[in-house]
Amino acid sequence: MTKTTDYINYENVSSLAGLFAERIKRTPNNIAYQQYCNAVNLWHSYTWQQMGSMIALMQAALENEQLTKGDRIAIMLPNCVEWVQFDQAALGLGLVVVPLYMNDHPDNVDYILENACAQILIVDTFGQWQAIKDAGAPECLKKVIVRSSIDVDSHDLIATPLEQFLAGQSAGELKNQAAKTDLASIVYTSGTTGKPKGVMLSHNNILWNAYSGLQSIKVYTSDHMLSFLPLSHTLERSIGYYLTVMSGSSTSFSRSVPQLAEDLITQKPTILISVPRIFERVYAKIQHGLAAKSPVAQRLFQFAVSTGWNRYQHQQGKQSWQPSFLLWPILNTLVAKKVMAKLGGNMRFAIAGGAPMSPVVAKTFIGLGLPILQGYGLTETSPVISVNPLEDNDINSVGTPLQDVELKIGEQDELLTKSPGVMQGYWKNPTATAEIIDTDGWLHTGDKVSIVNNHIVITGRLKEIIVLSNGEKLPPSDMEQAICLAPKIEQALIIGDNRPYLSALVVLAKEEWPGLEEANSKAIQKEVIQIIRKQLAQFPGYAKVHTVYCTLHAWTVENEYLTPTLKLKRSKIIANHSTEIDTLYEGH
């Protein structure tokens, strides 16, 4: 791979639309995006210039809607070229983009549209719009654009297929009517409690964040990303989308998470942005496969991982050379390359964010040849605060701060931050804004940290601490993460606040329990407790789960037990399982 850079300095462009226009000017004929076309069963490529022509066409159509600068439009599409085109068309007209999760509950979508007073909505299918309408479509909506023309009800007063919306338009010059300080997007946080809050991000917030990310980790024009995290997720949008425009890299849009494994092989990305859960699932499958192999094969795999890990540490300057490194070419051929081939065989590194990652998982993939760089941030910080550089990757941390990021440790070891990425505030919610940004301008993250060699180490959440009745305190997320590394367990939630001991609600991985009908039998409970205790062997003695309630019914976004970013809605799960929880503490 030719390692050349062609960064666009964020200080030299006036807005996110100006950034895209500059990229078209620099590399008009380079491939920008690839997308799978179901009609012909082939991947289709789009150059930067072709994207610009489509954006101009969408701008012409949007201009007919009599919108004014600052009006809100909403996008509810899967990752696709139309997402980028509609986003850029709106931003160039000075409109404010409200991204929506495809799998969000219609009631939540309805609330966001109403709260943001969105006037235009683009959806993937008419069925999506019908579900929102059934939930009580907001009066502010003037038009709903449907990407797919199939099954669009001609009697619907405001819905129109995308083809029809664009019909008769002619593409002129790309317009850029926004300034850096203008509001670019309102991103609604997928809060684990209460209604979501709209985070107001300016063009400058996002431009700075992408550019600062490039100062921490080099991305080349020849790099290729596979985009599968939702573009409504600020990490994917800022780093997987705007950053690639800034660097001139190309992107393939994955068809879906179930097809991710196939897309990795065919698209051969050099960079992947992910959440830890994806790697944890792959890790669990690897462990499951190893369990069926001979002891020799298991030892060979572990030797390859440990040798690869020690070799990586040596390359980082953190460990001395070892004779076992001489065996790496053989171990790489027999073990590591086979795993990396399933990830496309071309990966330079992966970035993991959104949740903590197990060091065991990180060490496994790094040992096999894939550097995983953990990062950290919040939607409210556009989003990245820190990331591990390739040359100084500490898997026990979430990295070093981006340039121009100030950090301070406040009361109860809470991380406070200042940077050009800190949001303008919460939309229509000055009270909530004042609660997170103090009078001195420090944003309170809610995360407890320590700083070790300039690396941020997350030690817990201020609001997610279980206090047992004996006064012992522990963060449940670390335990839940460890439990879910077991192949037989899909999800887990630790409970025990003001109780004498810890218990767990556990969702079993269906494929690992074939033919199971009674998930919560005494025999299953006993087996699950043994699995959990094995997974928690390295935790303190008081971090011991005594009783469990097991189910095969997964917690999903659809049943409102998960946020769209796949975080557990702890309070809702606990409230809706109060009867089951009470049985776990009977007699105590």
Contacts 24+ apart (CB under 8 A), 155-160: 156/126, 156/129, 159/126, 159/129
- Ordered strands of the 406-409 beta sheet: 406-409, 414-418, 443-452, 455-461
Assign a CATH topology to domain 466-584. Answer: GMP Synthetase; Chain A, domain 3 (3.30.300)
Q: Tell me, what's the pLDDT at 532?
A: 95
At 565, is the pLDDT very low, low, confident or very high (cuts 50, 70, 90)?
A: confident
pLDDT of residue 72: 98
**Contact in structure between 568 and 562 (CB atoms under 8 Å):** yes
Q: Are 72 and 118 in contact (CB under 8 A)?
A: yes
Report which of residues 240 and 478 the model is more confident about: 240
Q: Give 526's contacts (C-beta < 8 A, 6+ positions apart).
A: none
pLDDT tens for residues 144-175? 999 988 878 878 889 999 999 999 988 889 99
Specify the pLDDT at position 347: 97
Stated length of the chain: 588
Q: Are 29 and 47 in contact (CB under 8 A)?
A: yes
CA separation for the pair 225, 253 (Å, rounded):
9
Beta bridge partners of 273: 351
User: For 331-354, what is each residue's pLDDT tens digit?
Assistant: 999 999 999 999 999 999 999 988
Q: Where are the beta strands (DSSP E) in 24-77?
A: 31-37, 42-47, 72-76
pLDDT for 459: 87
Lowest mean pLDDT among 94-103, 209-218, 288-297, 468-477: 468-477
For 221, residues 6+ apart whose C-beta sits below 8 A from its C-beta are 2, 4, 5, 6, 27, 30, 247, 248, 249
What confidence category does residue 460 fall into, taking pLDDT thresholds of 50, 70 and 90?
A: confident
CATH numeric code, 13-219: 3.40.50.980
Cα–Cα distance for residue pair 15/75, rounded to 1 Å: 19
In this predicted model, which residue has the larger pLDDT, 281 or 76? 76
User: What token pair was written down for 229?
Assistant: 């995290």
Q: Convert the pLDDT of each residue in 248-269 to its tens digit.
A: 999 999 999 889 999 999 999 9
CA distance 143 to 140: 9
DSSP 400: E
Instruction: State how far the Cα of 400 lies from the Cα of 132, in Å rounded to an integer.
Output: 42
pLDDT score of 215 more than 80: yes
Task: Indicate if the pLDDT at residue 542 is higher than 80.
Answer: no
342 secondary structure, DSSP code: T
Does residue 75 carry a pLDDT above 90? Answer: yes
**Residue 326 backbone dihedrals phi, psi, to 5 degrees:** -65, -25
Predicted pLDDT at 191: 57
Quickly state the pLDDT bin for 275 (edges 50, 70, 90). Answer: confident
Q: Which class does domain 275-461 fall in? A: alpha beta
Q: If you average pLDDT over every residue of the chain, what do you get? A: 93
Query: Which part of the chain is CATH 3.40.50.980?
Result: 13-219
Cα–Cα dist 149/134, whole Å: 20
Lookup result for tokens 């995983």: 372
pLDDT for 276 equals 85
Query: In which residue ranges of the chain is CATH 3.40.50.12780 found?
Result: 275-461
Neighbours of 324 (CB within 10 A): 13
- The answer to whether 191 and 365 have CB atoms below 8 angstroms apart is no
Q: Which two tokens stand for residue 226?
A: 């596979």
The order of strands in the sheet holding 489-495 is 489-495, 502-508, 545-551
3 state SS of 380: helix
What pLDDT score does 417 carry? 98
Bridge partners, residue 350, by sequence: 272, 372
Q: Start-end ranges of CATH 3.30.300.30 in the chain? A: 466-584
Q: How far apart are CA 324 and CA 332, in angstroms?
A: 12
Q: Is the pLDDT of residue 377 over 80?
A: yes
Residue 265 near residue 344 (C-beta atoms within 8 A) = yes
Q: What percent of the chain has pLDDT above 90? A: 79
**Rounded (10°) CA dihedral 174, 175, 176, 177:** -170
Is the pLDDT confidence value at 193 over 60? no
Instruction: State both tokens at 349.
Output: 């590194």
DSSP annotation of 339 reads H
Model confidence pTM above 0.85:
yes
Amino acid 120: pLDDT: 98
CA 451 to chain centre: 24
pLDDT of 6 strictly over 60: yes
> For residue 10, what pLDDT band results from cuts at 50, 70 and 90?
very high
In which band, very low, low, confident or very high, does the pLDDT at 2 lie, cut at 50, 70 and 90?
confident
